[in-house]
Amino acid sequence: MTFSGHDPNQEPPANGETRPLAPAGNSEVARSSGTHQAATATHTVASTNVHAAQAPHGPGHMIKNLLVIIVIGVVAYFAYKFVAPMFEKHKPTVDADLSAPMPVKGVTVKKFTLDRIDQLPAEIQAYQDVALYPKVPGFIDWIGIDRGSIVKKGQLLIKMYAPEYLAQKSEADAKVQEANAKLKQSESTLVANEAQLKEAIAQKKADESTYMRLKAASLTPGVVASNDVVLLSQKVQVDEERIHSWERKVDASKAEVNALQENLEAAKRAAENFKDFASYLNITAPFDGYITIRNMHKGSFVGPLGNGAYPEIARIQQLDLLRIIVPVPERDVAGILPGAQVDFTLSSFPNQKFTGSVARIGNYLDRSTRTMPVELNYFNPNYTVFPGAFCKVYWPTRRKEPSLFVPTTSVVTTLVESHVCRIKNDQLEWVTVRKGQNMNQYVEVFSEDLKEGDLITLVASEEMRPETKVAVTMSTQDEETKGPAKRPHYHEPPTN
């Protein structure tokens, strides 16, 4: 006996055994797979019945065969109800005609100079900012300033009283006088020793002269006694030794005088430290400015910075000229122009714009933020803007040379590279590019294989494979600049 979908030459399955469905060999089999499964299940049931009829009869075999038939029937039912519709759902559709060209919008690569406005946060600082400390510890005897005072350069601000330094100055003056007295005494001793030396030299010369005459006269027998000649010779030797002694004393006196002169100079230098002591007790304004902080009052004990836990007496700031410190990102530093006019706004003046000029460039990058500090000068004669505030700077980002730009939708960015789809001979080809900065709805691109005027697709995707035939329609200016919806961005030009 044969059944649908079953090979008549194949041996029938054993009692209760089911064989797996054979895989579909072509699309016709796949489209009728649901019917095939149902027929296979019927074949299995019939085979089971045949073998069951051939099996030995008995109550146990009959119950077992009945249960197998029920299970197989349930499986066949669910296969027909659920599996067949799934195959019908996934029927292969008729393939599209691959020879038809893909319609695309085309746009040309443009070249112009990057010029846009970025919003950067900045901090406002006083052009000069000085904390006032005394040069020596002491008490405030008088203070003539308070918070909000406007002062001029050289104006007396604070008077101090320092009794300890007065005592030290008196001690230093006394040491100078003592060193001077010792020097004069030593110089007097030196003069006396030099006089004794001169006297000894004169005595030696006189004795030598007498000795020479007596020695010459002693050559005549009986004129001079020989003993007198010997005595005069020994006296000349004594005079010479006396001269050597006074010479040593003079040298010692000179060394003492030199040492005392050095001591006197050291004492004078120590006293010189107190020469301007009176000026130390008076604190004046270092420049025209504004007193923004006052911490001390009359009678307060104060000291120099770093010598104990002394707070500043007051703080003076120059407010008529301010520094606007802007952290410029690394990628924008090449376009910094000294002297460029830059606008900024403050939250305290939401409807007003202020203008500063680029005055100082840091010429180094902060490693932690990868930014370069650039300072703007802002003249503030009316004290409208205050230091310590944060502002928003509309920073002009420019390039010195023009570069290539394409619409942002024309660049496909993957984990490996970025590329555009260039159209050449009505076929697509991928051109690898390196993305630069954005300007409006365009993005800057760099590539050795891309040049101005090349035709690329307005919208590119990874599905656009190389060598795909395309039918090009040139896009309009509105289509190029429409672009995707933009979200708030750090580099966002101001909107009016």
pLDDT digit string, tens, across residues 144-159: 999 999 999 999 999 9
Q: Does domain 318-398 have CATH number 2.160.10.10?
A: no
Q: Which amino acid is at 96?
A: A
pLDDT at 306: 65
Query: How far is Cα 199 from Cα 184, in angstroms, rounded to an integer?
Result: 23
Cα separations in angstroms, 171 against 162, 174, 176, 262, 413: 15, 5, 9, 18, 82
Which of the given ranges, 53-57, 404-408, 484-488, has the highest pLDDT on average? 404-408
Average pLDDT, the chain: 80
Q: Give yes or no for a contact between 291 and 147, defined as CB atoms under 8 angstroms apart.
A: yes
Q: Give yes or no for a contact between 345 and 159, defined as CB atoms under 8 angstroms apart.
A: no
Percentage, residues of the chain above pLDDT 70? 78
**Closest among 280, 397, 246, 263 to 331, alpha carbons compared:** 397
pLDDT digit string, tens, across residues 11-50: 444 444 444 434 334 333 333 334 444 444 444 434 444 3
CATH code reported for the domain at 104-110+401-482: 2.40.420.20
Cα separations in angstroms, 403 against 399, 407, 429, 433, 450: 9, 14, 22, 13, 11
Q: Which residue has the tokens 């027909």?
A: 80
Query: How far is Cα 199 from Cα 239, in angstroms, rounded to an integer?
Result: 10
pLDDT band at 480 (very low <50, low <70, confident <90, very high): low
pLDDT at 223: 66
Burial class of residue 229, CB neighbours in 10 A (0-12, 13-18, 19+): middle
pLDDT at 490: 37
Cα separations in angstroms, 462 against 141, 408, 421: 81, 15, 9
Segment among 118-122, 123-127, 208-212, 354-358 with least mean pLDDT: 208-212
Query: How far is Cα 483 from Cα 12, in angstroms, rounded to an integer?
Result: 68
**Closest among 130, 181, 175 to 157, alpha carbons compared:** 130
Asked whether the CA dihedral 368, 371, 373, 379 is positive or negative, the reply is negative
pLDDT at 37: 43
Segment 416-419 long-range contacts (CB within 8 Å, at least 24 positions apart):
418/445, 419/460
Query: How far is Cα 302 from Cα 304, in angstroms, rounded to an integer?
Result: 7
Segment 486-493 long-range contacts (CB within 8 Å, at least 24 positions apart):
490/118, 490/119, 491/116, 491/118, 491/119, 491/397, 491/437, 491/438, 492/118, 492/119, 493/116, 493/117, 493/118, 493/119
Burial class of residue 388, CB neighbours in 10 A (0-12, 13-18, 19+): exposed
Class of the domain covering 128-162+281-316:
mainly beta
Query: How far is Cα 433 from Cα 440, in angstroms, rounded to an integer?
Result: 19
H/E stretch holding 356 reads strand 349-361
pLDDT at 122: 97
Q: Which two tokens stand for residue 176?
A: 């100078």
Determine the Cα angle at 117 with ends 113 and 118, to 5°: 120
pLDDT at 96 over 50: no
**Which fold is adopted by the domain 164-277?**
Helix Hairpins (1.10.287)
pLDDT at 16: 43
Exposure pattern of 410-440 as b/e (b: 16+ CB <10 Å)? bbbeeeeebbbbbbeeeebbbbebeebbbbe
